[in-house]
Amino acid sequence: MDRLTTDLAAAIGAAHVLTDPELIAGYTTDWSRRYTGTAQAVARPGTTAEVAEVVRICDRHQVPIVPQGGNTGLVGASVPSRGGVVLSTRRLRRLDPVDALAAQVTAGAGVTIAELQAHAAAAGLEYGVSLASRESATVGGTIATNAGGLHTLRYGGTRAQLLGVEAVLADGRVISRLGGVEADNSGYDLSQLLAGSEGTLAVVTAARLRLRAAEPHAATVLAGLDGITAAAEAQAAIRARVPGVRALEYFEAAGLALVLAHTKLPAPLPRAYPSYLLAEVGGPAEDAERLAELPLLADAAVAVDRAGSAALWAYRERHTESISAAGIPHKLDIAVPVARLADFRGELDETVKVAAPEASAIVFGHIAVGNLHVNVLGPAPDDLAVDEAVLRLAAAHGGTISAEHGIGRAKVPWAGLNRTPEERSVMQAIKAALDPAGRFNPGVLFS
């Protein structure tokens, strides 16, 4: 063992320091398989004090640190590019009893979203963020990416659930605001600063999170539509007339074909459509009736129980794995104003064709917030032409190059499309103040 791994082993136990290439392979390649790198070691600390010790050791040895939770991130930020230590948070598994009086809970960074949801449900409450990667994605990772997901329309993204964090800074100091006092204007909100920081400012070790009243399930509807214009109109009509709407998701014929081929599920509707809208409604039964009355949803499958709802959700939630089974996708997670969705979509196929003539684009996403996941299959992982073309198209339509996945390593060259030089320089000043040696996640967010 070299000095670095000897020191890490002394601090957290040799069993929690991995160096065998076979053992660390799962930590150095990201979920999409597009980004892969090398690491000197993977450190798996089990307490906040151990995280602090790992950070101090890496600082002493002058090696980069890549914080990692479930490694489900899709922008190459959770894996190292050129060596360093992967700091896995998966052993930070604190999960305190739900504070029912405040509807809050404190959870360790390594708790998965599925575990957090089950914990909240056992207390009759609900965690507002849900995503198809819930079995692996962690509390810390979703904070660091400010993850959105299926219920953003209803509850907002992770930022809106975050009341405070405990985190280890680059010099090993610990900051902690887990008291759960919601009314607190006593200075800068350092917890919110870490939401969306993509592991570049600190290691989140625990968080205080807001919970919501669990909503009864009224209905899930999967409707076939003529295209994205009809889907944009349908989602607007639902939002205007159905107060209990929780999710509005969009996908298309090409994505559904991959899902059916990969999962062997039967087709959801008797005939095929260019586009599909999935709506989930909570709240009173009248909401489901209002939804059923909407003429825009002429051909639809409807589920009023949870099992039927899960069966309809599978057509949407299994897109990511089905696309990945077909190849290594370029995942371009953009958002445009809802009013521009149809124009953006109308230009997308030609834009992709010009940049990568052999490529095809699979589109799905959270339509109510203008978020489309453009997945391009065909170009080599390191061919950036199609990434550039699609991200520029989103910006030209007044949109963002990252709706919920972050900038990571994948989108650094185009970060200036959405942020002014002034904003970028303020972000860099914050980075320099908190992590002057640039230990945390070099190459992520900034080149």
Ligand X SMILES: Cc1cc2nc3c(=O)[nH]c(=O)nc-3n(C[C@H](O)[C@H](O)[C@H](O)COP(=O)(O)OP(=O)(O)OC[C@H]3O[C@@H](n4cnc5c(N)ncnc54)[C@H](O)[C@@H]3O)c2cc1C
In a 10 Å sphere around its CB, with 0-12 CB exposed, 13-18 middle and 19+ buried, how is residue 59 labelled? middle
Closer by beta carbon to ligand X, 269 or else 326: 326
Closer by beta carbon to ligand X, 208 or else 405: 405
In a 10 Å sphere around its CB, with 0-12 CB exposed, 13-18 middle and 19+ buried, how is residue 189 labelled? middle
CB of 387 to ligand X, least distance (A): 17
Cα–Cα dist 439/336, whole Å: 34
CB of 412 to ligand X, least distance (A): 12
Closer by beta carbon to ligand X, 64 or else 288: 64
Count the alpha carbons within 13 Å of 317 in the hemisphere toward its beta carbon.
17
Q: Residue 339 corresponds to which amino acid?
A: A
Place of tokens 């109308």: 346
Nearest to 207 by CA among 195, 217, 198: 195
Rounded to whole angstroms, what are the CA distances from 1 to 4, 5, 58? 8, 6, 15
In a 10 Å sphere around its CB, with 0-12 CB exposed, 13-18 middle and 19+ buried, how is residue 229 labelled? middle
CB of 299 to ligand X, least distance (A): 26
Q: Which residue is nearest to ligand X (CB)?
A: 141
CB of 293 to ligand X, least distance (A): 29
Nearest to 219 by CA among 134, 300, 125, 135: 300
| CB-CB neighbours of 155 under 10 Å | 18
CB of 264 to ligand X, least distance (A): 18
Cα–Cα dist 395/335, whole Å: 9
CB of 36 to ligand X, least distance (A): 14
Closer by beta carbon to ligand X, 217 or else 405: 405
Closer by beta carbon to ligand X, 165 or else 390: 165
Closer by beta carbon to ligand X, 132 or else 314: 132
Q: Where do the DSSP E strands lie in 15-141?
A: 17-18, 41-43, 65-68, 85-88, 104-108, 125-126
Closer by beta carbon to ligand X, 35 or else 344: 35
Q: Residue 86 corresponds to which amino acid?
A: V
Contact between residue 134 and residue 117 where contact means Cβ atoms under 8 Å apart: yes
Contact between residue 287 and residue 402 where contact means Cβ atoms under 8 Å apart: no
Closer by beta carbon to ligand X, 78 or else 309: 78
Closer by beta carbon to ligand X, 148 or else 180: 148
CB of 134 to ligand X, least distance (A): 8
CB of 395 to ligand X, least distance (A): 20
Q: Buried b vs exposed e over 419-441: b needs ≥16 C-beta within 10 Å?
A: eeeeeeeebeeebeebbeeebbb
Cα-Cα-Cα-Cα dihedral sign, residues 287, 291, 293, 294: positive
Rounded to whole angstroms, what are the CA distances from 368 to 74, 115, 178, 279, 345? 21, 27, 32, 10, 15
The residues binding ligand X (CB under 6 A) are 31, 66-74, 77-78, 89, 109, 131-133, 136-138, 140-142, 144-145, 147-149, 198-199, 203-204, 320-321, 404-405, 441, 444
CB of 34 to ligand X, least distance (A): 12
CB of 100 to ligand X, least distance (A): 26
Closer by beta carbon to ligand X, 141 or else 268: 141
